[in-house]
Amino acid sequence: MRRGHARTLDVAHWPKKDPVSLDEDSHWELLHQCLTDTDLPLDLRGAGAILLLFGQHLTRIAALTTHAVTTLGENTFLTLDLTPSPCPDPWPDC
């Protein structure tokens, strides 16, 4: 366009929709389902729990490897950046 070989091109902007959030009860119900529903595939349960507990984007969750999970004694840690975060203990009914 700077050299006169093309004309101005206007591209319509599609605004993002407002994000939809969960109410607190639904959030905890989904987390409970991720932690306890053995009918769901384990990778889906794990990704859902990381999303709900740590608020990570799905693209970042999908890029995680098994090296992101470490144990020290009886404690389990998930490393999402550089600092390992402690994972919560299992719920009594899990």
Residue pLDDT, tens place only, 19-61 = 778 888 999 999 999 989 999 999 999 999 999 988 888 899 9
Q: Is 26 exposed, middle or buried (0-12, 13-18, 19+ CB in 10 A)?
A: exposed
d(CA 53, CA 56): 8
pLDDT surpasses 90 at 93 = no
Nearest to 88 by CA among 28, 38, 41, 1: 28
Break the chain into its structural domains and give their ranges: 24-86
- Cα torsion 65, 67, 68, 74: sign: positive
Neighbours of 40 (CB within 10 A): 13
The model's pTM: 0.67
Mean model confidence pLDDT for the chain: 86
**Two tokens, residue 63:** 């890029």
**Two tokens, residue 71:** 């144990």
Confidence of residue 75 (pLDDT cuts 50, 70, 90): very high
